[in-house]
Structure 1
Amino acid sequence: MTPQLRADAARNREQLLATARGAMAEGDLALQLNDIARRAGVGVGTAYRHFPTRRALVEALADHCFTTLVEQARGASRHEDPWTAVELLLRALLLGQLTDPAFAEVIATGPDQDAVARTTTHREEFMASARAVLDRAQRAGCVRPDLSQDDLHRLVCGTAFALRIGADPTGRLELYLRVLLDGIHAGRPARS
């Protein structure tokens, strides 16, 4: 469990996160800690105390999205229809990557790059639910049997990248998701 921060430390941390979120929204993905500290109006030492590396800052920014995704993946793994579970899981993963650049960066890498144990825990919980969804869908004959969880992860990340470089990422989400689902469905196009 994370120790409780003093009120002033918690304020500084939130100010750093808000400033970094604003920088990402403006398209600044570099998130240089010295610059974030200056823009947040806190000392550089304070910034590094909260976030020793840029990666730790990015993971803190991605935490809410990752928490939500883990909950959605658990929900998908409990859905009674295996194919609907796959759709729910992939839609949630794509939306997370499209709406949160910090999450997109974190999920595109492996656990060996995690700076914070909480991120690794989120990753493990998500992967366990995703594995359950994929295994059940493959046993039901809904998803290609030759598709591994790593394959699916790469396909979703690639689809998210393709959406992000387009003019209307969220507007094309359903089309790209349908193409992805048709491609992973076992033997015939997925139902609408």
Structure 2
Amino acid sequence: MRADAARNRALVLRAARRQMAEGDGSLQLNTIARLAGVGVGTVYRHFPNRHALMEALSAERFQELVDAAQEAAAEQDALVGLQRLLRFALGHALADVGFAAVLESARDAETTTSVMKSDFDHAVTELLDRARSTDAIRRDIEADDIRRLLCGVEHAVRSGTGAPDRTEVYLDILLEGIRPPR
């Protein structure tokens, strides 16, 4: 990437982060261009749509999730690792609406996002395989199910009061639900 293109991309990302920090998650590309002091065409060249911009904004947070999943997969007790990972992921999703949207999206705008999702799913699959081997979780749960269920809990918390005690209640229900039937 040319130096001026890299500078413009950084300006766009900085403006989008500032807008999100101020509570405006609309990420209208025309508005972002104005705030960044660049042309609309420049924004669209780097980010063809709002979702691509959200992916770029969430890349660092998503890498943190992948790292946490890999750490959880290395945990001696797979169920403890899974619980820690779910709490970490839910905290990230609740703290960043854009990240939650990227996490739950079925399609990715950027290859790097697809790679990170694949890395995440691989670590979660390893974790689930170990948990299944000790009969700690149901046999029919897959990595994609974990991601979808986590997004469901995130949605439930956001649609309610958002109180921390409800977050723990919903997460406990999820964890209990993936255990084998008694």
CA distance in 1, matches of 2:140, 2:14: 43
Instruction: Confirm whether residue 180 of structure 1 aligns to residue 174 of structure 2.
Output: yes
Match for residue 124 of structure 2 among 126, 130, 144: 130
Query: Amino acid of the residue matched to residue 100 of structure 1?
Result: D
CA distance in 2, matches of 1:166, 1:15: 35
Corresponding position of 2:135: 141
Task: Report the counterpart of residue 160 of structure 1 in structure 2.
Answer: 154
The 5 Å alignment of 1:109-128 reads 109-110=105-106, 113-128=107-122
Structure 2 counterpart of 1:95, from 87, 91, 97: 91
2:48 pairs with 1:52? yes
| Residues paired across the two proteins, number | 182
Native 8 Å contact 1:98 1:169 kept in 2: no
SS of residue matched to 2:33: helix
Of the three residues 100, 106, 117, the one matched with 2:102 is 106
- Give 1:96's aligned amino acid: H
Could you list the structure 1 runs, at least 4 aligned residues long, displaced by more than 4 angstroms after superposition.
none
Stretches of structure 1 that go unaligned for 5 or more consecutive residues are none
SS where residue 31 of structure 1 aligns? coil
Contact 2:69 2:120 in 1 (8 A): yes
- Per the alignment, residue 13 of structure 2 pairs with 17
Distance 1:15 1:169 in 2: 35
What amino acid maps onto 1:137 in structure 2?
Answer: A
Q: CA RMSD in A?
A: 1.9
Which segment drifts farther, 59-68 or 24-33?
24-33
TM (norm. structure 1) is 0.85
Task: Provide the C-alpha distance between the structure 2 equivalents of 1:170 and 1:51, rounded to a whole number of angstroms.
Answer: 35
Please report how far the alpha carbon of residue 103 of structure 1 lies from its aligned counterpart in structure 2 after TM superposition. 1.2
Cα distance change of structure 1 residues 35 and 171 upon mapping to structure 2, 3 Å threshold: farther
Code of the residue aligned with 2:16 in structure 1: it is A
Moved more, 11-20 or 87-96: 11-20
Q: Using the aligned pairs only, state the percent identity.
A: 45
Structure 1 position 135, deviation (Å): 1.2
> 1 CA distance for matches of 2:15 and 2:92?
20
Identify unmatched segments of 5+ residues in structure 2: none
Q: TM-score, normalised by structure 2?
A: 0.89
